[in-house]
Structure 1
């Protein structure tokens, strides 16, 4: 498979996570987001979501070229609401 910039495939034999990780770094400020195959319904759908997120973050960086912290903060705020596929939400911790 061809290398995709800023996106890494995670497939581990002994863990339950399989998916993609988007990582961008500007001026020592990091943005990282994980996309699980299971959560997105397959490897291809998770990759498409990761690519869309990467492209969106890069667009935010172009809008705020001198302030990556602000760009990442904007993207994190948007991702809080939209990082899960329709109908799926993270589990709530039950005590």
Structure 2
């Protein structure tokens, strides 16, 4: 299994949410994104999306090593605009599965 650093599994018995949470922290700035099993078509697909998102965010952090707020802002704007890194759009993942 791939390393799950910065990725946590969330399974709640009494709610409908099941999925993965990506959390990164740099210079006391936090970035969190959730990957629902339902949105991505299953547990393994949601995990793959979370791993790909982690690599994307880490690449942005390497591009802006002293400006994590800029890297996190870019990731948030991509999420709002629906511009996901390749293979991360939840609707497409669910339709393909």
TM-score (norm 1): 0.84
Deviations 1:28-78 (A, max 9, x none): 100000000011110000001000100000000000000000010011111
Unpaired runs of 5+ residues, structure 1, are 89-95
Instruction: Report the counterpart of residue 22 of structure 2 in structure 1.
Output: 22
Greater relative contact order (Cα < 8 A, sep 6+): 2
Where does structure 2 lack aligned partners over 5 or more consecutive residues?
none
> What secondary structure sits across from 1:5 in the alignment?
coil
Q: Secondary structure at the match of 2:22?
A: strand
The Cα of 1:86 is off from its aligned counterpart by 3.3
Judging by fraction of residues, say which structure has more helix. Answer: 2
RMSD between superposed Cα atoms in Å? 1.9
- CA radius of gyration, larger in: 1
Deviating runs (4+, > 2 A) in structure 1? none
